[in-house]
Structure 1
C-alpha cells in the first residue's frame, strides 16, 4: 500500500470547515490503496473547537506531532477577543477597527509572512525530512490555509526527492481578507513571491474552486486539478422540520456578507403578507458580524431572528435538515467568485432548498444550478429574491417545500477521495 504524508494545521478537536476536508480524505484513502500519515502541530491555537470530531479519526491512523510557536497565544494575553476574531478570519471594516485591531492586523500582514504559523516551517522540514527518509515515503501533501504549510512542502522538495502535492482550500494573495492586512509594498511582494514559488515548484496543485484554478494557471504551468469539498452521509438523529417558515444560515456570517436587498425583500414580504409575517423566522447559526446584525435591525427584522451560537458539526447537520430554506451568502466582490464554502455540499444533501446570494460569475452559482438544489441571485436582485422566497413560502404552506437535486454523487467524500487517490498515483516527479 502506497504511503502518503499529509501536512495539515487543522485537525480534531479543531472545528470549522477546514477540518472536514482532510479528515474525510484520510477516512477513505485506505479503500483506494493509499495509507495516510498525518502531521499536525502538537500545541495548536484553534479559535473554534468541536471535540465530537475526535470520534471520526480512524483508530489505526498514524499521527505525527511537533511543537509549534504561535504569536496568537502571546497576543491573547493582551486581547483574547481580538486575537480569536482575527485568527478566525473575521476582520471588521476599516472604520470599525479599534487601535489594537489595526495594530494586530499590521503586524500580522507585514511581520508574519505568509501567516502567523511561519515559525513551524523550519522545525517541520527538519523533523519530516528525517521521518520520510527513515520510513521510505516519497509523496507529501500540504494543505492551506495557513499557507505557511506549503512552505514546509517547498522546503522538503528542495531538500530531498519527493512528489509534492499542494492543496489550496482557499486562494492565497487573492483571498478576501488579504487586502485588509495593511500590507506594506515589501510585504505584498514577498507574499506574491512565495505564492509563485510554491505554485511553480509543486509537482501537482489542487484547488477547491474553478476560479482559483484559472487564477493559478496565470502564475504557473504546473498541473492543476479541481477537487471540491463534498459531503459524507452522516448518521444523525433526524429532527422534524421547523414549524415556522425558517430561513437558516449555518456558519460564520461575516460583516462583508451583508445582502441588504435580501433583508429589504424579507421586510417587504412581512409588510405585504400577514401570513408570511406570522410564520417567518430567520435562524443565524454561528458567529455573526455586528454590521450584519445592524442591517437586520435597520430593516426591522430583529424580532424574527433566532441567533444561535457556534454548534458542533453534528448539530449543524441537524439544523440544516430541519430548516425550511437554507441561506448561503458569499461576499460581493470579484475576488470571492472562487470561494465555495464547504457547507454548500451538506446543504445539497439536506433535502432543503438553497437560497444562494453572491457575486457575478460565482462558482457557487455553477454548483447550485448544476445540481438543481436551489436558486442563486446576485446582491442587486431584490425582486427576484423576493419572488423566490414567496414561492418557497407558498410551497411551505401546502406542505410541498423540498429540494429536487440531481447529480450529487460526484460530490460525495468517497468519490472525491477516489479522484485524489488517482492523482496521487499519477503525479509525476518534477
Structure 2
C-alpha cells in the first residue's frame, strides 16, 4: 500500500506554499524535483502555490517545462533587484567558468550563463550521421590570450566579493522581496504548510521567516548538504555563520527531507534529535512515453547531458579513449561523444584543449543546451549514457540526478563515479559499468568492455520489452535492463518484481511520499 493510499485527501484540500527559486521556465538539474512535485500533488487534489523568482537575464530557460504545471496553479514571481541582475550577469559571463564552487558560494546548479538559443542548441542535431560541423567538432582556440587574462582577473575579483557578501549564496538578495511576496500569498490563500527545497539555500531562509511570522508548519528539503557540502566555503567566519543558519533551519523546520541515505546519515550525525526523511530524486514515467529512436549501427555513440566544470571533467575519459584508439581497438571515426549542456564555460577551454592535444577533435559534438525533450531524444539515440561524477573523495555520497533519467531511457550506463550510492545503484539494477572518474586505467578497462560488447553485437542485446504494447511505461522499459537468466527471459513476473523495486525512483510515487509527510506534519500541528 502506498503512502498516498494510507492518507486520502481530507474534506478540506491541503494547500501548500512551495518556496523554490529554481522553477520553470528556468531549466537545469535542480528544476525537476519541485516541477514534478507540483504536477503530481495537484493530481492528488493538493492545492499548490509557488513562490519563485522572476527569471533573471542570462539564465537558461526551457518554456516546455511549464507544460507540467497546471494552468490554475498560482505562481508568485519575485524579481531580483536590478543591481543584482547586473552583477550576476557580469559574473556569469566572466567567471562562472570555474563553476562558482571552490569559494563555497553554493551556486545553484541551474545558474548557467547563456540561453539555449545563444548556445546554438540544435546545430549538430540537424547533421547527418558521420557529417562534421566546423562549429562543433573543429574547436577554435577561443578568445585571445589578453582577453582571457582580463576575464580571469575580473572573474577572480567577482568571486572574492561574492564569497564575502552573499551568504549563504547569491540568491540571499531575493530573500527580503520573497518574504514580502510570501506574506501576501498567505494572506490571500488558506495555506496549510510551507515547503522549501534547496538549492539555493536561501529558499530555507525565506521559509524560515514565513514560519516565524505565521507559525505555519514547514518542511525543508535538501537536495545537497549545506555546511558539509564538498564545495563548502574555506572562509572560516563564513562557515561559522552558515553553520548557525543551518542549525536554525534544522531546529525550526517541522520536518526535514533529503535525497540520499548518505546525506541523511550526515544530517543525523550533526542533529541527532531530528528525523530526516529520504525521498530520492527520480524520473517521470510520462516523460518517456512515445519517446522514439534507436542508436545507429555506427559510430559507437556515448551521450552526456549536463554541465562540466573544474572538479567534474571528461579529460581522463578522453585519455582512456585515446589508449583504445592507439591500440587499434577502435578508430576515431567509429566513436562519438554527444554533449548536451556545457563542455567548457566561456573563457575556459581545458576540455577542448585536451581533445586537440589528443587528436580527438572529431570525437565530440557539443550541442549546447537542449530543451528537455530534445535532450531525452539524444539519449535515446545513443548506445551508452555517461555519468561524469565529481572527483572529490566525498563525491560518492551524491547521486547525480541524471542517473534516474538514464535508467528510464533503457540504455547501458557508464558511471564515472566515486564509490557510493550511485555506483551501488548501477550494480544493484545491472544498469551498466562504473569506474573511478580520476583513474584512467579503470576507465580504460570499462571502455574496453563496452567496445568489445559493441563489436560483438551484444551491447544492446539485453534491451528488450517486457510487453508488446505499443506504449510502454518507463518501468516496463527498465525491466529490459535487468540481466535475467535464460529461463526467465523477461517474464511478466520478473518485470513486475523489478518494477516494484524501482517504484521509489518514480516522481509520482515520490510525490505520494511527500503528500503523506505533509499530511502527517499538518495533522501533528493541529493536535
**TM-score, length-normalised on structure 2?**
0.74
Cα distance in 2 for partners of 1:323, 1:106 equals 41
How far apart in 1 are the matches of 2:246 and 2:356? 41
Instruction: Please state whether the residue corresponding to 1:37 is helix, strand or coil.
Output: strand
1:15-30 to structure 2, matched below 5 A, reads 15-30=27-42
Measured in 1, the distance between the counterparts of 2:33 and 2:436 equals 28
Q: Confirm whether residue 155 of structure 1 aligns to residue 155 of structure 2.
A: no
Partner of 1:14: 26
- 1:60 partner SS: coil
Deviates more, 1:138-147 or 1:256-265: 256-265
Could you say what secondary structure the match of 2:231 adopts?
helix
Pairing 1:257-336 to 2, within 5 Å after superposition: 257-258=312-313, 260-289=315-344, 290-336=349-395
Post-superposition CA distance 1:124-158 (Å, at most 9, x none):
32332343244332210011111111001111222
Determine the structure 1 residue equivalent to 2:416. Answer: 357
Give deviations 1:184-204, integer Å, cap 9, x for gaps. Answer: 432222122112211222111
Q: In the alignment, is the contact (CA less than 8 A) between 1:45 and 1:70 conserved in 2?
A: no
Report the secondary structure of 1:326's partner residue: strand
Cα distance change, pair 187–330 in 1 and its aligned pair in 2 (3 A):
same
1:331-365 deviation line (CA, Å, top 9, x unaligned): 111343332222111101111111111223x2211
- Say whether residues 1:115 and 2:174 are aligned partners: no
Matches within 5 A, 1:7-406: 7-45=19-57, 47-69=59-81, 71-75=83-87, 78=90, 81-82=93-94, 85=97, 86=100, 98-179=152-233, 184-220=235-271, 221-233=273-285, 234=287, 235=289, 237-242=291-296, 243-258=298-313, 260-289=315-344, 290-360=349-419, 362-379=420-437, 381-402=439-460, 404-405=481-482, 406=498
User: What SS does the aligned partner of 2:386 have?
Assistant: strand
Q: Is the 8 A contact 1:240 1:322 kept in 2?
A: yes
> How far off its partner does 1:237 sit?
4.4
Counterpart CA distance in 2 for 1:138 and 1:336 is: 37
Q: Does 1:414 align with 2:508?
A: yes
- Aligned mates of 2:232, 2:57 — CA distance in 1: 21
State whether residues 14 and 47 of structure 2, in contact with CA within 8 Å, keep that contact through their aligned partners in structure 1.
yes
- Other structure's SS at 1:251 match: strand
Please, which moves more after superposition, 3-12 or 78-87? 78-87
Deviation at 1:328, TM superposition (A): 0.3
Q: Which ranges of structure 2 fall in alignment gaps of 5 or more residues?
A: 1-12, 101-106, 113-148, 464-480, 483-497
Q: Is the 8 A contact 2:56 2:85 kept in 1?
A: no
2-structure distance, mates of 1:283, 1:249: 6
Q: Give the conservation status (yes or no) of the 8 Å contact 2:257–2:279.
A: yes
5+ residue gaps in structure 1? Answer: none
| Change in 2 beyond 3 A, CA 1:78/1:123 | closer
Q: Report the TM-score when normalising by structure 1.
A: 0.90
Change (3 A) 1:129 1:3: same
Give the paired residue count. 423
How far did 1:42 drift?
Answer: 3.2
Q: Is the Cα contact below 8 Å between 2:91 and 2:155 reproduced in 1?
A: no
| Aligned partners of 1:334 and 1:359 also within 8 Å | yes
In structure 1, what is the Cα distance between the partners aligned to 2:150 and 2:237?
26
Give, in angstroms, the shift of residue 255 of structure 1: 2.5
- Tell me: CA distance 1:237–1:380, structure 2 relative to 1, closer, same or farther (3 Å): closer
Q: For the residues of structure 2 that align with 1:408 and 1:45, how far apart are their CA atoms? A: 38
Report the Cα distance in structure 2 between the residues aligned to 1:162 and 1:81, rounded to whole angstroms.
Answer: 40
Partners of 1:164 and 1:365 in 2: CA distance? 33
1:300 Cα deviation from its structure 2 partner:
3.2
User: SS where residue 285 of structure 1 aligns?
Assistant: strand
Deviation per CA, 1:149-196, whole angstroms, max 9, x where unpaired? 1001111222222111111122223334334xxx54322221221122
Cα 1:349–1:237 shift into 2, 3 Å: closer
SS of equivalent residue, structure 2 residue 175: helix
1:36 is displaced (CA, Å) by 1.4
The alpha carbon displacement at 1:14 in A equals: 0.6
Larger radius of gyration: 2
Compare 203-212 and 286-295 and name the one that shifted more: 286-295
Are 2:324 and 2:330, in contact at CA under 8 Å, matched by a contact in 1? no
* Pair 76,36 (structure 1): closer, same or farther in 2 beyond 3 Å: closer
1:34, distance to aligned residue in structure 2 (A):
2.1
In 1: Cα distance, 2:108 partner to 2:219 partner: 25
Partner of 1:423: 517
Query: What root-mean-square deviation, in Å, do the aligned CA atoms of Structure 1 and Structure 2 show?
Result: 2.6
Cα separation, 1, equivalents of 2:36 and 2:108: 22
SS of the aligned residue for 2:409 comes to coil
